[in-house]
Structure formats: C-alpha cells, structure tokens
Structure 1
Amino acid sequence: MIRLAIRVRREDAEVVLAELLPLAPSGVEESELDQGNVIEYAVYGAPGELPELPDVEAAVGGALVEVVTTEVADDWADRWRAFHRPIEVAGRLYVRPPWEPERTDMMDLVIDPGQAFGTGAHHTTRLCLEILAEEPLPSDPQARGVMDLGCGSGVLAIAAGKLGWSPLAGVDHELESVRATAENAAANGVEVHAERFDLIRGGAAPSAPLVLANLLRPLLLCVARAGFRDNNVPDLLIASGLLATEADEIAAAFARHGLVETDRRQSAEWSALALRRPV
C-alpha cells in the first residue's frame, strides 16, 4: 500500500481540496503540519491506483509545498481505526465511528470516517458541536431549519437533527461529501437534504435560521462577500475552521450582514464563533 501526501499552504487549502478530490473520489485524509501553516492531504492505494503526479501538481498549482510518497505497513488499516476515536460533546452528544459501541446515556451519532472527512474529533468540528449542543431549541418550529455549508461527512447537520432541529440541509462542492452526508444521515435516522454547491463560484450561499459553517478562512470570507440567498440572513451562524488570530476578521466580515458576535470558543489554536442577528 502506498501513501501519497500533498502538502499545501493553509490559506489555499480549501481551494486545493476542491481541485484535488476529483482525482481521489474515495476521499482524502487531512492533517496539519508546521503548527497549522501547512495542510497535508493524503490518499492511499496500490501502485498504479493513485493519481498521476502531473495531475496532482496541476490541481495543486502554486499552493504546492511538497509531495511525499511513502510505503505503508500492512497494519495500516488497524492504525487508521485507532486514530478515529469517539468524542463526548457538552455532556449531550456522543460521536463515534461505526466500530465503537453505542452509548445509551447520550445522543448517539455514528459517523463513518471512511466516507468523508472524519468523525468530528478535529478542534474546529468539536467547537461547532459544543456551541450547537448548548443552543436552546427555538420555540417556533419555523425557526428550526438548518443549513450546513461545506457539510463533509454531515456530522454537524446530523447532530442538529438529533438535537431537534428540522428541516436539515447541507451543501458541499464534492459529490462524495453529498453522498456521505446522505448515507450518514440515514444511518442516524435523520434526513438531510444535501446537494452540490460551489461556495467560491456559486454566488450567494443558501441559508436557514441556523447556518453551520465549519470552513477555512478563505471560504468563510467568500460567504461573507457573497451574502445569503434572497438576503435570508440566518438568526444564528456558527462559524469555525479558523485560527484564533483570524476570528476578529471573520466576525467583522459577517457584521456587515448585521450578525453580532455573542460567543467565541477556542481550542488549541482554533476558534469558533456564534454570530447572531439581533432580535
């Protein structure tokens, strides 16, 4: 088994991922290097099954830092499973991969990390889940709709559904993420309407009373610039995927839409924001 790792500058990571995924339709592994300044995307396969290097370099373009090819030991599958561990969130949610046993004392979410981008253990996802889990459910059913921008594996939208929010929707640039969200939602007994949408080139973002946006800084700024479809500014936007040093910039970008910061969480070097429309 061969591991092909492509390392890119963090500020270009989201755009690079959108170009890279068509070359690796089964998904990529994502990790951070150099204190978060470099993002590594890795794909696995037998010799001859991996994307051609010229195609990879063309997709990554000027953001390329390094390409590293290594041979993976025979026990890589077991070590990959060991990497994905369950997490507890705010004493309410238990997010686990399918090979871990269910917990009956919390709301149980099972997310298959083999389909998309992990189970929710990354700091940015956990911060989103913490804010979401502590948010009171609106008394008005019409105010409970959810839009997950960049839904990935669907974990945020699915968690919202478990917490009583509905209807649930999500968008992602990659078809594999759309499929993963639908499959994970079905496995959890909720329904998420997921579809493809390009946050960079698609114009105004789809919206709902609650918008979940676990995106890197460049994509969050794209959403802030383009605004929301039909000027449908959410009641609450939970934004993450940003470094603590970027939080003020993101809060200011969405303030132009009348959204006011009411909560800021930090874990390691990462931050998440709760941005609300004043009542």
Structure 2
Amino acid sequence: MRRVSFRLPADEKEELLDALMPLLPNGVRERTVEDAAIELTTVAAAPPTRAALETAAGRVLAAWEERDVPADWRQRRARFGGGAFLVGERVLVRSPWDPPAAAGVVDLVLERAGGGFGSGSHATTRMCIELLLGLDPVGGAADLGCGLGTLAIAAGRLGWGPVVAVDRMDGAVAAAHENGARNGVEVAWEVLDLESAQVPLAELVLANAPPPVHARVADALRASSASARTRHVIVSGVVPAELDGVAEDYAVAGWTATASLVEDGWAAALLEPAGA
C-alpha cells in the first residue's frame, strides 16, 4: 500500500477537492496543519501519480509525500495517527490504535462499538470537553446520553466523582462500560430512556442530546429536590438555531448560559444558576 499526502490552501479546499476526488476513490483524510493550509492524505494500492493530481488541480500540490505503508489500517494508525482529537491542549481522545498522548495530557482511549455515539470525532463531544476543562471538579457528574462514555470518562479523569452515565442503547452502555475499564475510571453505567425515566442529577450535568432530552433535563432541574446540588450544566447535541429554544427551557428552570461554542454547524453551552 502507498500513502500519499499533500497540502492545499484552506480557502480553496472545496473547489480543489471537486477536481481531485474523482481520482481518489478511497477517499481522503484531512487535517488543519496551519491557519491557511489543509493536509490531505489518501492510502491505496496504486494511488494516482503526482502529475495526474496536479493536472486535475491545475496547480502544484505543496508538501507532497509518498511512502509505502502497512496494509493493516491499525498499523498505519499507530504509525501516523489520524484518529485522535486534542481538546484544549489538555485532553487527547483517541482509539487504541492511535499513538498515546504526550506527557501532561489526559489520555482517553475509546473503542467505538455497540452503535454508541461520542468517540470524540464529533464536534459536540469536543465542545463539551472544552467547556468541562474550564470548571473546577467539585462533586459528582451525570452524563445523560453517554454513548461510548467519553464525557463520563473525561469527567472522572479530570477529578469529578462519583460519576453516573446513562444511555437508552444497551450496546452503547456495554461499550461505555468497557471504555471506562480501559481508562481506569469508575462510573455507574445504566441503560435508561431519558424521555420517560427519572433524570439523574449531580453537581455537574453533561447533556449531549437532542432538544426533547434537554426539555426533560430542564424539567428535572426545576422540579427535583436533587437539583439543589447541581452547579453546572453543559449542553450540546443541538445546532445553533436550536440553542435559543433549549436555553429558554433551562431559563424557565432558573438557568442561564455563561459560555457558548459553535463548531462544524453544532452548538454547545455552559449553563449555571441565574444570579449565581
């Protein structure tokens, strides 16, 4: 197998990809290498030549590199990475086949299985972790709609505890349980449908979920005596156009947004008690 990588100007990426993709049927992996450049990588038994790609692009392809690589993608991942996400320079979310985190960086190793969401590849997960990094860990955490367990595990590794995490999918909870063990984090994992069951609360609530779930969480914060100990709610799983409506549900319960993020067409916010 051959691995080919090159760089394109970020502001011309879409136009150039339209010209290049017919020659790259195996697809490409992209990463931002600097503000004005995107690195594209493709792997194939017989990739197109540099001349063919440059002819299609109508320009020289900068930083061209081509080399033989193992056929097994796991070996390639261990050698080159490409599936890991560094959040806030403090937390690395990666698969077992990616290179480990640098010294001083929290290393979260997640195996995607069980149909679960939240491996770190999605913007909502990354934004939730970024907001989490701004909080001092005081008390427990509840991950509502935990998927593969990324947020619950991150909270545990950052010092929150005890941690409870729920999801309505059996397979996701089973995979999350394995991920928790892989990362040495104790979490009370539970299969739970948040649209009908009682919503668990803690000092920190992590809700990366669609608007109907947020409405249920807001109701729980308003009605439950357990909500008195909740100090922070991190919400995501919504697009920017939905965030105002979700924030209104929480506002009725006495919560207000103190920080917000938008990435790749998704939104996240940190909520705290109004007037706190």
Which TM class, normalised by the smaller chain length? 0.5 to 0.7
Partner AA of 2:160 in structure 1: W
Structure 1: 4+ residue segments shifted above 6 A: 81-84
Cross-structure match for 1:19 = none
Matching of residue 168 in structure 1 with residue 168 in structure 2: no
Q: Is the 8 A contact 1:84 1:119 kept in 2?
A: no
Match of 1:268 among 255, 264, 274: 264
Question: What displacement does 1:145 show?
Answer: 0.2
> Quick one: distance in 2 between partners of 1:228 and 1:241?
21
Cross-structure match for 1:258 = 254
Match of 2:93 among 78, 87, 95: 95
Cross-structure match for 2:102 = 104
Question: What displacement does 1:221 show?
Answer: 2.3
Partner AA of 1:117 in structure 2: F
Secondary structure in 2 matching 1:158? helix
Structure-to-structure mapping, 1:26-105, within 5 angstroms: 78=73, 85-105=83-103
Question: What displacement does 1:206 show?
Answer: 0.8
Render the CA deviation track for 1:15-72: whole Å, top value 9, x for unaligned: xxxxxxxxxxxxxxxxxxxxxxxxxxxxxxxxxxxxxxxxxxxxxxxxxxxxxxxxxx
Structure-to-structure mapping, 1:123-272, within 5 angstroms: 123-138=123-138, 144-202=139-197, 204-227=198-221, 230-233=224-227, 234-272=230-268
Question: What displacement does 1:259 show?
Answer: 1.1
> Quick one: distance in 2 between partners of 1:271 and 1:248?
10
Q: Is the 8 A contact 2:256 2:272 kept in 1?
A: yes
Q: Is the 8 A contact 1:90 1:134 kept in 2?
A: no
Cross-structure match for 1:29 = none
How many correspondences in the alignment?
Answer: 197
Partner AA of 2:204 in structure 1: L
| Structure 1 vs Structure 2 CA RMSD | 2.3
| Structure 1 residue runs without a partner (length 5+) | 1-76, 139-143
Render the CA deviation track for 1:138-161: whole Å, top value 9, x for unaligned: 3xxxxx100000111000010011
- Provide TM-score, normalisation by structure 1: 0.65
> Quick one: distance in 1 between partners of 2:134 and 2:181?
24
Render the CA deviation track for 1:111-132: whole Å, top value 9, x for unaligned: 0013432521201111101000
> Quick one: distance in 2 between partners of 1:103 and 1:199?
34
> Quick one: distance in 1 between partners of 2:95 and 2:131?
22
Question: What displacement does 1:218 show?
Answer: 2.6
Larger radius of gyration: 2
Q: Is the 8 A contact 1:261 1:275 kept in 2?
A: yes
Change (3 A) 1:229 1:97: farther
Change (3 A) 1:174 1:261: same
> Quick one: distance in 2 between partners of 1:228 and 1:187?
36
Question: What displacement does 1:174 show?
Answer: 1.3
Q: Is the 8 A contact 2:124 2:266 kept in 1?
A: yes
Render the CA deviation track for 1:99-121: whole Å, top value 9, x for unaligned: 11211321100000134325212
